[in-house]
Structure 1
Amino acid sequence: MVYFSDYFNVDKQILEDYGAFNISLINDLPLFIDPFLLFGSNEKEYQKLHTNIIEYLTFLKTKSEKGNITDANIKSWYKFSEVKQNWLGYSLMGNGGSGLGKQFGEAMSASMHVVYDDLNNERVTVSSHLEKAGLFQIGVGKDNISDFTCNLIKGYLAEYTEKFATENLKQEQVKTIMVSKVYFDYEMERWMPRQFTLPFLNGDFVLLTPKDLLTKDDNWINSNDLKGNFESICDAIPNDQLRSEIHNYFRSKIPPKPKKKRPTQKELSFAINETIKKFPDILKYYIKTKEENKVGAKNISQERVEEVEEVFIQNVSTLIGDLIDKTDFYEINPKGSFEEALERVEFLKDVIENKDGYRLFYSKGKAIKREADLQVIYRLTWHATPFDVNREVNNGRGPVDYTVSSGSKDKTLVEFKLASNSKLKMNLENQVRVYEAANNTSKSIKVIMFFDDMELVKVNKILQELKLQNNPSIVLIDACDNKLSASNVK
């Protein structure tokens, strides 16, 4: 069992008809709520949620302008735990994220008057947007925006889930829970709890999320997009004098170069940041272009959600089915964690290379090129094992993807890497030092997946240089999509 529909014995079509995403209850999936989708929706319920977010930002800005924000205020108004119960986000292991702490609160509080200078008095844009904070160099990233949004609409998510549970789940599958920080009382100036009847599993409640609020990788309003289209955004500013001043200042911040030599990305990024500091109205015109393309935001988010459904639900379900039907993957009972991990890797390799499993690592004909996504897929296939499979923190050897363990004395490290990773050689070199320091007694497995012949050549060259060609702890997996059929292999 991996997904909500499995654990609560609900037909997938019922979830689909309700509009909810079928979350994994093994590991977070790489989706998050984009607050722009609230603003851009025609649904009055969503628009009200966006209005509520702006109302809360207005409260925070008013308090910030008055000054004397105490640590207690920061803790009460800005500090939130990650809403782990929706099983979405950036966690590569389980569903526990870092949430919003004191550092985030201090950065936001100190910058409210700058970031939201025209809050409720917009001249260029239609509305203010929470994600605007991610465009400033104040230490607020997309994960912070995601966590903040999710906390600010947690009450709606609880109501949405409660309605589904009431209509579709059995009494023994739900529990009445007092959920903390559900709504903000502006008279008491504090977040208040509320009681809900919600799906309950393994000692915690579960929250469902509407698919049409979700996206992957980046918010619709994001700094990467801003920097990537910076000059065209500036070209679209209607004020001729302002546009000319911006272009002149931007060019002045780029170091002189010989003819035909382009500035580096680092130099361009510096020039962009300096220009935005000098002309903050650039951000307003950027946001205006995003507001004018609500349909684009909706279409792109829908494509990204469909991609996640294809890769992490449909493909993983097929992969698990193949592992059950075609191998003994879930019946392994070896003596230790190393044998367990290695044998499962070998079974996975066999399914991918010889039983068409490679197809499961592609979406719309394109290979998955993010190690984080591949690591999540790998984790989901371990849903039935007597061993503990956990993400390892940096223990002095460098960060490791997973540990497979049975008790404190039997532990094997497993790293899952892409051949295209530019730091692959460095990573392997570090592992070599670990082998040497441990007299070849370190239990460690390196899984490297390649998607074309060029990547295979690169990996083999690295292994040859490091004298690791025949190391049994390094497993290469061929996920090329141009494999010959069995009838054509001579």
Structure 2
Amino acid sequence: MPKTLADYGAFNVSPIVDLPLFIDPFLLFTSDKEEYQKLHDEIVRYLRFLRDKSVQGQVNKGLLKAWYCFKEVHQNRLGFCLSGNRGAGLGMKFAGALDQNLSKLFKDFGTEEVTQGSHLEKLVLIRDRVGRDNISDFTTNLIKGFLLRYTETFAKEHVVEEKRKVVRIPRVEFNYQAGVWIDGEFDLPWFVDDYVLLTPEDILTKDEIWINKEDLRKDFPRIRDAVENEALRSQIEAYFMKVLPEDYTAKEEREAIERTLKRFPEIIDHYIKDKEDRGEEAIERSKGKVSEAEHRFIENLGKLASLIAERSQFYSSPSTTLEETRRKIEFLKHVIENQDGYRLFYVNGQAVEREKDLQILFKLVWEGSPSSADAEVNNGRGPVDFKISRGAKDSTLVEFKLASNSQLERNLEKQVEIYKTANQTTQSFKVIMFFKAYEESSVKRIIQRLKIPDEAGVILIDARQDNKPSASKA
């Protein structure tokens, strides 16, 4: 099946957890495939519809919810949600931000003169708490009809009827005359208790979409200086210097840039034009990132899932979450240190040090457990990576850190105790992964300096690739 999917052009999704991949609308825009370009045109058409209604003052709370709010399309298993594969979707905060930008900052959306086309990403470049997940979720919902037809075509040809199901899907196509979303029926692959949605590999990216806030802030000086209108360029420069304090911090510089962008939103068109001119770079970058994700997460997670299945009897659930969690961590440690699990953290021989990748593996080892493994639980004093629970009276907390984390010592000293109090539990583990010998030494010195006892639940994982036996000898 992987080869069949590859030949079809679809990404081979994981049935276990979401993967850190996103649909990037710019890849639709810059593609030489007419079908993708039409999809991007339809996205712009829908946004122009919203803009017209917003400028005319015709959008009330009910219409905000009907036109802007969407559930996450979790069936494509993308976007990286540790708690299964179901994210929060697009709510009223996103709706309000988008509607306000369409009615005030970007009334010219759809009629830009500087850029080659219009872009959804433009509408959220100067809004906090609106990022790549929101853009990808919104794009996925707006092209959901295409994705459903794309999946149905594949399923009818390559998936046996017993593993398919005709499903009625809500909000597939938009009726512009009536101003409502309409449903549709599709014959789709069925896995466990839900349908599976395929996504073409060539519209996916990883880590960040091409048009993004971080690049806009980083490129602000160059984009500002590239504005051809001399009078406008002078006004932008004068305003920016006015709102930028003397001896400014990095945070104050970011705030000054955002204030300038809100005052002169036309700067964004110049930034987007620069991104359009480098469209081929976006395609090549995304290819490399998707290929890396496919190797690291699909291939390696498949191998790890097999290892876990082989050891399922040994790791059957003990009587308490404390004991069960310790066993899960010890097993994860064994897999990484002795069963080639460390390979997930390397690309072309170089360590890719991310705590999120370790969390993905930890989520994997909880498949089939009677305990609830909830990610990023916030019970009053900030989110904890995982809370393992069996009812209200038995819970265990788990935090993951890299040895290279500059805040590790402070975290070890304070964070777990804070979480214990907030979550009303006396059970917790701190899992620390290191990639170099000096990192291991540093962590051990911190533990010694803070006089952390063995029973405190601090567990180290060795992810060095130059210190591993072969899997056959482990």
Instruction: Assess same fold via TM > 0.5.
Output: yes
Contact 1:19 1:210 (8 Å CA) reproduced: yes
Distance 1:453 1:367 in 2: 13
Distance 2:314 2:469 in 1: 29
Q: Does residue 1:390 correspond to 2:390, yes or no?
A: no
Distance 2:223 2:361 in 1: 38
2:314 match = 331
Q: What is the SS of the residue equivalent to 1:331?
A: coil
2:126 match = 136
C-alpha offsets along residues 401-428 of structure 1, whole Å, 9 cap, x if unaligned?
2233456554332222222334434433
Distance 2:315 2:263 in 1: 62
Distance 1:437 1:242 in 2: 52
1:7 match = none
Q: What is the SS of the residue equivalent to 1:42?
A: coil
Contact 1:79 1:102 (8 Å CA) reproduced: yes
Distance 1:436 1:299 in 2: 48
Gap change, CA 1:398 and 1:116, over 3 Å in 2: closer
Distance 2:423 2:78 in 1: 38
Pick aligned residue for 1:312 from 292, 297, 302: 297
Q: Does residue 1:276 correspond to 2:261, yes or no?
A: yes
Gap change, CA 1:436 and 1:205, over 3 Å in 2: closer
Contact 1:330 1:384 (8 Å CA) reproduced: no
C-alpha offsets along residues 312-362 of structure 1, whole Å, 9 cap, x if unaligned?
11222233445567xx46532344332232123223223323444323311
1:156 match = 146
Amino acid at match of 1:205: Y
Gap change, CA 1:398 and 1:467, over 3 Å in 2: farther
Q: State, as a whole percentage, how many aligned pairs show the same letter.
A: 47
Q: Does residue 1:292 correspond to 2:262, yes or no?
A: no
Residue 252 of structure 1: how far off its partner (Å): 3.6
Q: TM-score, normalised by structure 1?
A: 0.88
Distance 1:22 1:96 in 2: 18
Distance 2:118 2:455 in 1: 56
Distance 1:32 1:484 in 2: 33
Contact 2:244 2:256 (8 Å CA) reproduced: yes
Amino acid at match of 2:396: T
Residue 456 of structure 1: how far off its partner (Å): 2.6
Q: What is the SS of the residue equivalent to 1:383?
A: coil
2:81 match = 91
C-alpha offsets along residues 286-325 of structure 1, whole Å, 9 cap, x if unaligned?
0001111111111111111112112211222233445567
Contact 1:90 1:143 (8 Å CA) reproduced: no
Q: What is the SS of the residue equivalent to 2:467?
A: coil
Amino acid at match of 2:461: I
Distance 1:45 1:438 in 2: 51
Q: What is the SS of the residue equivalent to 1:140?
A: coil
Residue 212 of structure 1: how far off its partner (Å): 0.7
Distance 1:373 1:452 in 2: 17
Distance 1:398 1:278 in 2: 34
Distance 2:465 2:38 in 1: 46
Gap change, CA 1:36 and 1:208, over 3 Å in 2: same
1:430 match = 415
Q: TM-score, normalised by structure 2?
A: 0.91
1:343 match = 327
Pick aligned residue for 1:76 from 56, 59, 66: 66
Contact 1:312 1:377 (8 Å CA) reproduced: no
Decide which moves more: 143-152 or 466-475. 466-475
Gap change, CA 1:220 and 1:344, over 3 Å in 2: same
Amino acid at match of 1:272: I
2:187 match = 197
- Structure 1: give runs of 5+ residues left out of the alignment: 1-10, 258-262
Amino acid at match of 1:290: K
Amino acid at match of 1:298: I
Residue 435 of structure 1: how far off its partner (Å): 6.2
Q: Does residue 1:220 correspond to 2:205, yes or no?
A: no
2:446 match = 462
Contact 2:401 2:430 (8 Å CA) reproduced: yes
Distance 1:477 1:278 in 2: 49
Amino acid at match of 1:84: H
Gap change, CA 1:432 and 1:471, over 3 Å in 2: farther
Distance 2:182 2:459 in 1: 52
Q: Does residue 1:413 correspond to 2:397, yes or no?
A: yes
Distance 2:418 2:54 in 1: 51
Distance 2:139 2:89 in 1: 11
- Structure 2: give runs of 5+ residues left out of the alignment: none
Contact 1:311 1:360 (8 Å CA) reproduced: yes
Amino acid at match of 1:302: K
Q: What is the SS of the residue equivalent to 1:393?
A: strand
C-alpha offsets along residues 61-94 of structure 1, whole Å, 9 cap, x if unaligned?
1101110421111111111111111111142211
